[in-house]
Amino acid sequence: MPKIDVAKKKFLSELKNITNLDDLIPLLEYAKGELDDVDNSHIRIELNDTNRPDLWSSVGLLRLLKQVQGAPKKTYDFFSTKDKQIDTKYSVVVDKALHHVRPYIASFVAKGLKIDQEVLDQLIQMQEKLGENYGQKRRGLAIGLYRLGGISFPVQYRAVDPKKTSFFPLGGEKTMNLVEILQEHPTGKKYAGLLEGLEQFPYLCDSQGETLSFPPVINSDSVGKVEIGDEELFVECTGADQEIVLLGASILATSFSDFGFTISPVSIEYPYDTPQGRKTVTPFYFQEHIDVSLAYLKKMTGKQISTEEVLEALEMFDIACTPSKDKDILRVHPPIYRNDFLHQADVVEEVIIAKGLSFFAPEIPQDFTVGRLLPGEMYARRLRDIFVGLGYQEMVFNYLGSREDFIEMCYPEEEWADIESRMLEIVNPISANYALVRMNPLGSFLRVEATSSRAVYPHMQFEIGKRAFRDDSHPEKTRTETIVGGLVCDGDADFNTIHRHMAAVLYYFSISYRLESSNDSRFLPGRAADVFVEGQHIGVYGELHPMILERWKIGQPCAYTEFTIDSLYEK
């Protein structure tokens, strides 16, 4: 969960009737926050809600806490909408070649506050928290701050040849081209993976060719170096999803305004269509309203809450709300710095937090039940005992993983597209390392084995867990199964080794089975078998193909099995 550091004395002085940390603790509950660490000058606060990046700075958190205390709501008159775009003298021109590279940008200008050390620390923290956490380590959102005085408008957002484009990077020692930055500069090496496979790289410069930055990697050492005493800044956000980029800019703009800056919008001119059109003046309010019924509110809370009470509760969090004529339906408009209202339940949550848990009388459950293990779990425990008895060590793996581990390292290249089409993909993964739901645990076993070459052989691993994959025959178009996998790695590991173990497992469960030669490409031809029980395919086992072992740099033969427990239990 995100953690932010705030200056203790100044933070407490901004709040009414908060003189010590004991007074602050109950107020932080409205932000789902709690104290993590305290010293003489700073407080570290942990925020237990990753859906509220607007709170990941001292000014953002103070905005909410002041609202709860009844402070007047701030207005931000620098936002444009689809129906009203503010005139501005600042603009960014986007290169059409960026459409398939890093297509979206949002920006604004901030003036009128001389930056001191405390403000600079907060700006850097806000930039890092948004870029690393909400921006998925800059993949979805990268932020750049620049000294405005050295920039000639319009700013140019281009796609360039990385070998022919050079500048002096922030914290560098010499002028370098973009490829050299990724290979030699510490920050470049850290984020080089974001640009892997691209022939052209994003590049930001002004109308005179002065380099601003190489997004999403690093700023220039000239206008891209913000220092104490600067008063005028140019701020930009780039990314692959326009909503994420726009929300990032909105959070930054409102936070800069709360610091004391005056915000001026910037016009973004695209040569291609975007969800918000070819010209967008940012900061931009793009959020859609959501309707919630009082009947649903009563169903979810168990309380009859009036329209007036709902309006008062939502007003506490700066959430605009318009009742229908009969007041049974409320149209909720998210604040300009939030985009976490996806369902009526999200609105109900805000009402519950505003009213407080004491508003809801506790009820004693009317039903009496006794907990017990499901038969399937009992079955899995018996299976676990058998594997342990055979000498295996139990493993627990993540169900999410990377395309490399689950596909590219475990299957021939000609099958990659087919395998990926059957796998479930996370729409908005926090990292490429957790982008796919596994269809089997083989990649996880081999990842462990690849780092275990110094351990005494044989290595015998097993895991009982879940797998999920696409299945058009099911109403949900997906299927989830309980699966057991086992891997033996040893100089003598072969088909007979894994066959003995599989035969023992099925023997102890008194299951009759039939074997057929398997064409599974993960195994050596002729050294793998499909297992059938009462005509149903339940699993496969055999010797892993040397191609797979070579990819993982595993020096000993491996035998592997996987089969579904659900099928066995049904039999």
Please check whether residue 92 is in contact with residue 236, taking contact to mean a CB–CB distance below 8 angstroms: yes
**pLDDT tens digit sequence for 464-522:** 999 999 998 888 899 999 999 999 999 999 999 999 999 999 999 888 999 999 999 99
Q: Out of 3.40.1190.20, 3.30.56.10, 1.10.287.990, 3.40.50.280, which CATH number does the structure's domain 3-68 have? A: 3.30.56.10
Q: Note the pLDDT of residue 325.
A: 80
Cβ contact 76:253 at 8 Å: yes
Question: What is the number of other CB atoms lying within 10 angstroms of the CB of residue 399?
Answer: 15
Checking if the pLDDT of 377 tops 70, the result is yes
Share of the chain above pLDDT 90, in %: 67
Looking at domain 290-358, which CATH architecture does it have? 2-Layer Sandwich (3.30)
Q: Which helix (H) or strand (E) covers residue 444, if one does?
A: helix 442-450
- Give me the CATH code for the 375-570 domain, please: 3.30.930.10
Query: pTM for the full model?
Result: 0.69
Q: What is the arithmetic mean of pLDDT over 253-262?
A: 94
14 half-sphere exposure, CB direction, 13 A CA radius: 18
Q: Which letter does DSSP use for residue 413 in this model?
A: G
Q: Provide the residue ranges of all domains of the chain, joining segments of one domain with +.
A: 3-68, 91-282, 290-358, 375-570
Average pLDDT over residues 253-267: 95
* Mean pLDDT, residues 72-100 taken together: 93
Tell me: pLDDT of 569 over 80.
no
Judged by DSSP in three states, 377 sits in helix
- Say whether 290-358 and 91-282 share the same fold: no
Least reliable range by pLDDT among 71-85, 198-212, 351-365, 492-506 = 351-365
Residues 6 or more apart from 519 whose CB is under 8 A from it? Answer: none
> Residue 486: CA atoms inside 13 Å, Cβ hemisphere, count?
27
Please give the Cα distance from 459 to 448 (Å, whole number): 10
Query: What's the pLDDT tens digit per position in 382-426?
Result: 999 999 999 999 999 999 999 999 999 999 999 999 999 999 999
Write out the DSSP string of 35-95: EEEE-SSEEEEEE--TT-GGGSSHHHHHHHHHHHTTPPPP--TT-B-SS-----S-EEEE-
Instruction: Reply yes or no on whether the pLDDT at 571 is more than 70.
Output: no
Using alpha carbons, select from 4, 14, 13 the residue that is nearest to residue 71: 14
159 close to 202: Cβ distance less than 8 angstroms: yes
Task: For residue 371, name the pLDDT band (cuts at 50, 70, 90).
Answer: confident
Are 288 and 332 within 8 A, CB to CB? no
Kindly state which CATH superfamily the domain 91-282 is placed in.
Answer: Phenylalanyl-trna Synthetase, Chain B, domain 3 (3.50.40.10)
Higher pLDDT, 367 or 552: 552
Distance CA 204, CA 217 (A): 11
With a pLDDT cut of 70, the percent of the chain lying above it is 99
